[in-house]
Every structure is written in structure tokens, then in C-alpha cells.
Amino acid sequence: MDGPDDSDPGLAGLSPEFQAMLGGLSGHTAAFAQMLEKRTKASKEVEKEKDDEVYLESYADLAIHEEMLKDTERVKAYRTAIEHFGPTWAEATVVDVGAGTGLLSVFISRAGARKVVAIEASRLSHFLKKVVEENSCSVEVHECLAEDLSLPEKVDAIVSEWMGYCLLFENMLPSVLAVRDQYLKPGGLMLPSKCRLLLAPIQDDHWRQQKVDFWHRVQGIDMSPLMPLATASFCGIPQHHVIDPEKILAPGTCIFEADLHSVQLADLEAFERWLSVCVPSDRRLDGFVAWFECDFAGAATLSTAPSAAATHWKQTAFYLRQPIGGGVEVKGSVSFQKHPSFSRGYQVSFDLQAPGRKARSEGYELR
């Protein structure tokens, strides 16, 4: 048996032949690790291409554009901002990133811009060209990804409706930033210019009764064995619907904000904010609701808050699998992280704790 004072001689205690063999294995291991890294990188690039194809194909569906064009709050905010800055664009080049059916491009042209560049990567670009022609607008249509845009000159302003559910879902903002970084003149204008994502605690009796408690007893039949499945199915994914302002327990907290003139890709990768919620003794915490607000350089604002007029974005609710009873202060954090396998999504996590209650972590996928 080795004594307490014995020391390990390490490789020096091994024969030269065995040391050489270990050195060779180390080299093979390093080479194998490099090969795996290359394959992983290539696999992620392929996955992103597939995500992009599905995303662009979805925007070739006219139903999505119908919903957006019928969103009067969305259209009003953009039209107000464009008409406000239009008189200053007589000598300007303005880019519309993700032009879709061409509504904003036509607005920009009619507002007085010298040159309008419309970028649309989906199959809808074919119809976009016809729309601008029918409306006698001077719009230069580029059927390409924003990242592949090629222009001979810098531009004065960039307009884009890039926001998705919970602001960042769909991950279109990087495409807008790619155009900004390559073509926007110093001091150029971004519309919208600023945005922020807010979060508030909610108690939603109606939703929980309809989606979870419903399964306790159905038509006189005990279906309670299905309640865990209902909880996992409906509380495990974000819910996009309109939230009654009366369900909100406290004012919204800003968990993310960005100035579109300066925000960087790294800022979109991940972010985390601390939370503190005082739940009244006669209420309970069912989850959290998220919404966003955009400012158009002081010319207009767009809010998707529960207290504002409804938009097609609605709000995004994150329901806890088990509510937290009232009379406590709940503390913790919320974090957003780019999805590891779906390039246009995010993983959202809540870590919560309250006095006398078991700490919990709740995870969701925006995808």
C-alpha cells in the first residue's frame, strides 16, 4: 500500500515507449475535436439555411400580410412617421427592409423620397414589383436577402417592420442591422428608432380554468389524470393572445431596450433581468405577460401593451405550471437566450423564489 508521503511520478515514471503512445493519442484526440467542431459549425449553418427557407416561405403566404395590413395601429404608426419625415427626403435614398406587399415602400415614395429601395427575399417580390408599378411609384425592388444587398451608394434612412411576437421572435432584426452597418450614412435615420420589451405579473383565472382546471372533471367523468398533461402542454409554451389589463398585478418592467442606431448583434444573443413582484394577499401569480413598444424618432409610437389598442402581435403570456399564492414577495430573474437549434427563436427562463416556498425554474421556447 502506498504511504501518505509517496508522490505521483506522473509521465516521468513511465517508459519512453508508453509516453510516446500517450502523446500520439493526445494528437489524435485534438484532431478529432477539431473535426467535430467543424462538423458542428457546418451543421448549424445548414440548420440556419433551413430556418430561413421556412421563414421566407411563410411570408409568401398572403394571409400573413392580410393580417398585418388590417392592423390599423401598426399601419398608422408607420404612415405617421413616414409622412412626418417625408418632406426631408426630397434628396434622400430610403431603404425598406422586408418590403412584403410594398405598402411602406409606396408610402415612402408618395411622402417625397427621391429614391426608394425595397428589399424582399420571399416569392412575394414578384407581386411587389407589380404593386409599385400599378401605383406609379419610383421604387427599386431587390429580390434578395438583406445581407446580400448590393447598392452603389450609402442611404439616408432605413424603414423596416421587423418586430415579431415578444419583439424578438423571428429574429429579423439582424438583417436590418446588416443593411444599417453597410449602407446607412453617419447620422442616418432608423424607423423605428428605439424599442423596448416589457414584462408584468398576471393572474389569469379564466385561462387557467379553460386550459388546465377544465380537465379535472368533464361531463361528469373524472379526467384528473390528464391534468399533468394539460399543464405540461399549455403552460409549457408561450401563449400569444390578448390579455385583459385587469389581470395585471403590477406595472410592467423593462427587460430589454435597444437604440436601433447603435444596438449590436451581441446585444441580441442573450439578456437577463432581475424581477421582484409583491403578490397581494387576495391574488395569486399565474405567470407573466410580455409586450413591446417602439418609438419612431419622436414622430410616432407603437405600443402592443394590454392597455393599448389591440394589434396583430397581441401579447405573449408565460404561464407558470403551478401558481404562486398571494401575500408574498416573489424574487428572481428572467433570461432570454438565442435558441441553440432554431436560429429564429429564443429560450426563455424564469428562476423564482418566495419565502416559505420551494424555488422553481420554468423554461419556455419561442419558436
Question: Catalytic positions, please?
Answer: 161, 170
For residues 278 and 327, give the distance between their C-alpha atoms in angstroms, rounded to a whole number: 7
Three-state SS for the chain is CCCCCCCCCHHHHCCHHHHHHHHHHHHHHHHHHHHHHHHHHHHHHHHHHHHHHHHHHHCCCHHHHHHHHCCHHHHHHHHHHHHHHHHHCCCCEEEEECCCCCHHHHHHHHHCCCEEEEECCCCCHHHHHHHHHHCCCCEEEECCCHHHCCCCCCEEEEEECCCECCECCCCCHHHHHHHHHHHEEEEEEEECCEEEEEEEEECCHHHHHHHCHHHHEECCEECHHHHHHHHHHHHCCCEEECCCHHHECCCCEEEEEEECCCCCHHHHHEEEEEEEEEECCCCEEEEEEEEEEEECCCCCEEECCCCCCCCCCCEEEEEEEEEEECCEEEEEEEEEEECCCCCCCEEEEEEEECCCCCCEEEEEEEC
Closest by CA position to 68, among listed 80, 81, 57, 77:
77
Closest by CA position to 237, among listed 170, 163, 358, 321:
321
